[in-house]
Amino acid sequence: MPGLNGMLERFYREHRQQLFTCALAVTRCADRAEDAVQEAFCRLLRLERAPRHLKAYVFRAVRNAALDQVRGGGRPALEADESIFAPGSGPRDQAAGHELQRRVAEALAALSDDERETVVQRLYGDLTFREIAEIRQTPLGTVAAWYHRGLQKLRARLEE
């Protein structure tokens, strides 16, 4: 059975884009999001034993580190509109999707903090409502409401 460090290393390799994306939803800055993920893992590596729900625990640690990044300085406008998307499979795919990605990033930036973070955690972080509620320490119904309200706003903006 792998030790905690091995579990964290494997978890990071499998979820690094999702962790970065969730941190970016909070910080709205690619550099701060990267710093938040790194800081969270530095803290996690000091744990003495594995948490009961590793996925929720790691995502909460990243979210908390991202919130610390935001508290450390003003919140800049979303600067890296492509950073929330996984890299495309080739130049043609990237060029075709660039405009849509820009529009989605602008629409996400227009959501409230809670709506944006919830939508990103669900769609790009691949977290369940229950996991998001646990990470954010918020009632499940509130998380679902943020998500559905955020999706409605996204659809409306993208249909314009």
pLDDT of 91: 57
pLDDT tens digits, residue range 98-121? 777 788 888 888 999 999 999 988
SS (H, E, C) the chain: CCCHHHHHHHHHHHHHHHHHHHHHHHHCCHHHHHHHHHHHHHHHCCCCCCCCCHHHHHHHHHHHHHHHHHHHCCCCCCCCCCCCCCCCCCHHHHHHHHHHHHHHHHHHHHCCHHHHHHHHHHHCCCCCHHHHHHHHCCCHHHHHHHHHHHHHHHHHHHHC
Least confident stretch, 11-25, 40-54, 72-86: 72-86
Nearest to 86, CA basis, from 18, 11, 158: 18
The CATH 1.10.10.10 portion of the chain extends over: 91-159
**pLDDT number for residue 76:** 53
Tens of pLDDT, residue by residue over 116-149, are 999 988 988 888 999 999 988 999 999 999 999 9
Residue 159 has what pLDDT?
87
How far apart (Å, rounded) are the C-alpha atoms in residues 70 and 116?
Answer: 15
* CATH number among 1.10.630.10, 1.10.20.60, 1.10.10.10, 3.40.1620.10, domain 91-159: 1.10.10.10
pLDDT class of 93 with cuts at 50, 70, 90:
low
When pLDDT is cut at 50, 70 and 90, the band that residue 153 belongs to is very high
